[in-house]
Structure 1
């Protein structure tokens, strides 16, 4: 299976379950003219996978996109340290939504599925000292919302309501259920 993503977290989640992955990602403009935030992220996930699937029509291709939403505002990956600081301050002491959309495609077999999973994350109040410590770690820079729930950013999370792996970047349980509807079982994962 081809993973249309450079995300080390997505690769880790999928390989841990036994998928034999090739990494082939293409840069796309991550914009969508869809109306709702959910439809936008699903559209971006679809575009990321389609561009790779078109070059590999016989292969299974999977990809995903994750965003953080708070008070109707979308937080992607921070542009720089200041942007990351602003994001972390906006999340401090509040609840936010993490939406991960994934697409699974095989053009030859006419498989084209895009789904999404939404989770709530409750952040504790974060001090300026903690934010600076976290920024100094460098961890926030390649993550939507400027934190990684599986890393140092975990200390900011009071609780979650939803799918941990979706927050991390790939909703593996939801994905496996989708594969099961196609007749692909967990025992056959290493073969696709």
Structure 2
């Protein structure tokens, strides 16, 4: 099996892309948005969707931000283990999971994640129906929520169990306009939000519902590219054997 070249010609000439060049990089997701975001920045990994059921019990986590990180880790490990027996095993598997956390605080410009109360927030994943989508938007309407993406990478090591896992989470604050029920219903009827965490797409018609975004725009769209490439650079700097094993 020949390796798929994941680094595109327009990628910046920086150590992260130099290290990824010629490596088998896999995205454990079928999300077209994550694929498109990585392509924009010069990375085109193989697409191997994870078969993990994504059924971790949300309330079992002490901190809500741990939930998408744990899901992303399970996705990445499942794909890495499944592909390990290939003639060319993966050099890097990337997985992500995004959730929306609802925080009933005034939508002011000085709201930052550290100001949120420690009580467990409501969690919004993908709506199960149009009715569920409307429920989510009514809850979020006129308020502030937090988009959290957990990103995990798995790569080979010489120590047991033969691979290592590194994870990050990215947090972005989204402020909603005070929208009329008519606008919310019209957006739900468009069905754009049905496959989005929180039931809205900031980069699409869902942008009409929003007042502003504090933090990484790409995180709200689907993948925190800047933080991901920063993680790759950190691994290059701190781990001598990172992506160097044959």
The answer to whether TM tops 0.5 is yes
Please state how far the C-alpha of 1:18 moved relative to its aligned partner: 1.8
Check if 1:6 corresponds to 2:33.
Answer: no
Q: Confirm whether residue 48 of structure 1 aligns to residue 75 of structure 2.
A: yes
Partner of 1:73: 122
Identify the structure with the greater helix proportion: 1
Q: 1:17 aligns with which of 41, 47, 59?
A: 41
Structure 2's unaligned 5+ residue stretches are 1-24, 104-120, 238-246
Moved more, 37-46 or 103-112: 103-112
Query: Is 1:162 equivalent to 2:215 in the alignment?
Result: yes
Deviates more, 1:85-94 or 1:131-140: 131-140
Of 11, 17, 34, 2:61 maps to: 34
Distance across 2 between alignment mates of 1:62 and 1:139? 26
Taking the aligned partners of 2:208 and 2:164, their CA distance within structure 1 comes to 40
User: Tell me, what secondary structure is at the counterpart of 2:65?
Assistant: helix
Aligned equivalents of 2:41, 2:164: Cα separation in 1: 21
Q: Is 1:64 aligned to residue 96 of structure 2?
A: yes
Q: Is the 8 A contact 1:5 1:64 kept in 2?
A: yes
* RMSD (Å) for aligned C-alpha atoms: 1.5
> What secondary structure is seen at the aligned counterpart in 2 of 1:45?
helix
Q: How many residues align?
A: 184
Offset of 1:177 from its aligned partner?
0.6
Q: Does 1:104 align with 2:131?
A: no
Equivalent residue number for residue 130 of structure 1:
183
CA distance in 1, matches of 2:75, 2:62: 19
- Could you say what secondary structure the match of 2:97 adopts? strand
- Aligned-pair CA distance for 1:143: 0.4
Q: Which has the higher contact order (CA 8 A, sep 6+)?
A: 1
State the Cα distance separating 1:154 from its structure 2 match: 0.8
TM-score (norm 2): 0.71
State TM-score, norm by structure 1. 0.90
